[in-house]
Amino acid sequence: MSIVRRIRDITVATLNERLEKAEDPVRMIDQFLWSTREDIIQAEKLHQQYTNHSNHLRAQWLQAESQKERREQQAMTALKAGEENMARFALHEKATADERAAQYKDLFEQSRQHTLELEEQLREMRSEYQAVYDKREYYAARMESIRLQQRLNSRFGGYGESGPQPGAMFRRMEDRINDLETEAKSIRDVRRMGHEMEGSGLGSTVKSVIDRELDELKRKLQKEGWSS
């Protein structure tokens, strides 16, 4: 059974599904990263505690092993000296040290196994954190693209649709200038014709007809709002 059971409101399994639906995925990722970072900090503290505990158990185990060997040497020395009772006592102490060494060795191996499991979980959590962080950078870039697009739409979205078009504007100017040029040319032609008529000595009858038509044109222009 795992030592660290990390319970979060947002898990990696559901994170990917919820990101696409989130209004602000960057904020959701930040919450996940904060939660994961807290888990990593707690796991690192626990790992340090397990490491210290494992070192203590190993020291106790090795001390018991050393005491067992020392008692055995004492028993052999006592036998050589003919001290059988002392040898028995030394062997009894050896058995006690042997039992204690076995106990501490078992505790050390358990602690070491838990430490290895915790190290594996830490690697997974750090890898998970980095993967989600990279995804945050991607979604942050997408959100920035959206914000820039919104600014573009709000400021320049109507340009080219309802606003003035340079091409159309210059076409209208060209038409207006052409009209003015045509009007000026017409006036110049009429004046030249008038001078020619005066110099040609037209009869009074022709002049009367021209004056009458000129008066009629003036009345027509006055109806259209023209004033001389």
Find where tokens 């006690």 sit: 96
Q: What is the value of pTM for the model shown?
A: 0.54
pLDDT band at 53 (very low <50, low <70, confident <90, very high): very high
Find where tokens 């979980």 sit: 121
Q: Is-contact 114 53, C-beta < 8 A?
A: no
pLDDT of residue 87: 86
pLDDT of residue 20: 62
Non-local (6+) Cβ contacts of 54 within 8 A are: 108, 111, 112, 115
pLDDT band at 47 (very low <50, low <70, confident <90, very high): very high
Q: Which has the higher per-residue pLDDT, 199 or 79? A: 79
Taking 60 as the threshold, does the pLDDT of residue 93 lie above it?
yes
Q: Where are the alpha helices (DSSP H) in 81-202?
A: 84-156, 166-200
Per residue in 100-109, pLDDT tens? Answer: 999 999 999 9
pLDDT band at 14 (very low <50, low <70, confident <90, very high): low
pLDDT of residue 83: 86
Per residue in 160-198, pLDDT tens? Answer: 555 556 666 667 777 777 777 787 777 777 667 666 656
pLDDT-wise least confident of 60-69, 120-129, 144-153: 144-153
Taking 80 as the threshold, does the pLDDT of residue 69 lie above it?
yes
Find where tokens 């573009």 sit: 152
Per residue in 192-221, pLDDT tens? Answer: 766 665 655 555 665 677 777 777 877 777
